[in-house]
Amino acid sequence: MKAVRFHTYGAPGVLVYEDAPKPEPAAGEVLVKVHAASVNPIDWKIRAGHLRGFRDYPLPFILGWDVSGVVESAGAGVTGFAPGDEVYGFPDASRNGAYAEYIAVEESRIALKPRSLDHVHSAAIPLAGLTAWQALFDTAALKASQRVLIHAAAGGVGHLAVQFAKLHEIYVAGTASGRNQEYLKQLGCDLPINYETTRFEDVVHDFDAVIESMGGEVRNRSWKVLKKGGILVALIGPPPSEDDARAHEVRATIIWGQANREQLTEIARLADAGKVQPEIAAVFALRDAAEAHRMSETEHVRGKIVLRGI
Ligand SMILES: NC(=O)c1ccc[n+]([C@@H]2O[C@H](COP(=O)([O-])OP(=O)(O)OC[C@H]3O[C@@H](n4cnc5c(N)ncnc54)[C@H](OP(=O)(O)O)[C@@H]3O)[C@@H](O)[C@H]2O)c1
């Protein structure tokens, strides 16, 4: 099959479009013909070697942990899916990913894709959407009328987090540049904050939760927007400091998004009801994955970048 692989860590140019072995579905797995795969920041962080020592990969390696496609065949013991099913999901990030013609994926990591969305839009959802969902509801356990500050609210995780929170009648403040203020309003954000002109801690106080995906100075300034007992949910390392959390009388944790078939099914239901709409910043051909990485590395993408399958 064709795939995009890298043989050495480095700049986007290390991504090579080439022939690679077609995977075989093991017991409990299905083989999916990839119609679309999306790009997440973790992809270029791995490619650039930023995660070496923390997560090591056998080279050459295929990136990409969002897939939307069609089940081609099923391994032994698969009960939930049959050839021809249109599925989307979050494959195991320790294995070869979806920048390829085919991927073998455990059936527990996929669900039927939203019927009303094409493969490009469906592929935009799983990793970012599940991370957003789990941060808001599983970790922060937010309920109607509580208040959350979502950083990078126009990004891949953020734009879905804003939509999910509003569906649960949660009050949402979100940060983005001036360019994205109107977009945040369209998403339903109650308090869009232009980080170029406003310090978020000047306008956000006594919040129940912060979804924090920037780290560094943004994290340091985020503690003070929380009310006592509130929670900072970090999406990037290092884990938040327990000393800082204690000093502000709040809780803090770091999470890594997990595949979850029930949640994917629920998100597909919401998409089909017209309540969730992934934003596509750009679609690239699979062979142009390096271009897609260059765009993602700007860290100013609105919504998601998607690679179209072949
Ligand atoms: N823990 C996990 O499981 C998990 C899962 C997914 C992602 N992540 C991590 O979470 C981070 C965000 O992921 P993503 O997919 O949402 O990334 P992304 O789509 O690349 O984020 C881009 C967004 O960041 C915004 N942004 C840039 N600088 C900002 C600032 N100073 N303040 C507020 N917003 C800013 C940009 O808005 P403007 O253009 O308006 O500046 C843009 O919309 C990444 O570091 C990623 O690795 C972690």
pLDDT in tens, 56-100: 899 999 999 999 999 999 999 999 999 999 999 999 999 999 999
The C-alpha R_g of the chain, in whole angstroms, comes to 19
For ligand 1, what atom is nearest to the CA of residue 302?
43
For ligand 1, what atom is nearest to the CA of residue 154?
43
Q: Tell me which residues have their CB closer than 6 angstroms to ligand 1.
A: 40-42, 127-128, 131, 151-152, 154-158, 175-177, 179-180, 195, 213-214, 235-236, 255-257, 296, 299-302
Q: Does the pLDDT at position 54 exceed 90? A: no
pLDDT of residue 242: 96
Element (H, E) at 283: strand 280-285
- The mean pLDDT of 219-234, rounded to a whole number, is 98
Top mutation candidate among 162, 263, 279, 301 for ligand 1, by most atoms within 8 Å of CB: 301
What is residue 164's three-state secondary structure? helix
Ligand 1, atom 15, residue with closest C-alpha? 156
For ligand 1, what atom is nearest to the CA of residue 179?
40
CB atoms within 10 A of CB 88: 30
Q: Does the pLDDT at position 158 exceed 90? A: yes
Q: Does the pLDDT at position 176 exceed 90? A: yes
Tens digit of pLDDT for each residue in 201-226?
A: 999 999 999 999 999 999 999 999 99
- The mean pLDDT of 238-261, rounded to a whole number, is 97
pLDDT of residue 282: 98
290 Cβ contact list (under 8 Å, min separation 6): 12, 13, 15
Q: How far is CA 131 from CA 27, 101, 137, 156, 195, in A?
A: 27, 25, 10, 10, 23
How many whole angstroms from 159 Cα to the centroid of ligand 1? 10
What's the pLDDT band for 55 if we cut at 50, 70, 90? confident
How many whole angstroms from 160 Cα to the centroid of ligand 1? 12
Q: For the residues of 49-63, what is the DSSP string, one character each? A: TTTTTTS--PSSEE-
**Residue 39 contacts residue 286 (beta carbons within 8 Å):** no
**Residue 179 contacts residue 112 (beta carbons within 8 Å):** no
Taking the whole predicted model, whether its pTM rises above 0.75 is answered as: yes
For ligand 1, what atom is nearest to the CA of residue 300?
39
What's the pLDDT band for 310 if we cut at 50, 70, 90? confident
- Residue % of the chain over a pLDDT of 90: 98
pLDDT of residue 56: 84
Helices (H), the chain: 41-47, 119-123, 126-133, 156-167, 181-187, 200-203, 216-222, 242-247, 261-272, 289-296
**196 φ, ψ to 5°?**
-80, -20
How many whole angstroms from 237 Cα to the centroid of ligand 1? 13
The two three-digit tokens of residue 89, written as one number: 């999901």
How many whole angstroms from 267 Cα to the centroid of ligand 1? 21
How many whole angstroms from 214 Cα to the centroid of ligand 1? 7
Q: Does the pLDDT at position 165 exceed 90? A: yes
How many whole angstroms from 83 Cα to the centroid of ligand 1? 36
Ligand 1, atom 21, residue with closest C-alpha? 155
Burial class (CB in 10 A: 0-12, 13-18, 19+), 274: exposed
Element (H, E) at 34: strand 29-39
Tell me the average pLDDT of the chain.
97
Ligand 1, atom 25, residue with closest C-alpha? 152
For ligand 1, what atom is nearest to the CA of residue 159?
16
Q: Does the pLDDT at position 306 exceed 90? A: yes
Q: Does the pLDDT at position 53 exceed 90? A: no
What's the pLDDT band for 142 if we cut at 50, 70, 90? very high
Return d(Cα 310, Cα 293) in angstroms, integer.
Answer: 18
Return d(Cα 83, Cα 43) in angstroms, integer.
Answer: 29
pLDDT of residue 30: 98
Residues in the chain: 310
pLDDT of residue 223: 98
For ligand 1, what atom is nearest to the CA of residue 178?
40
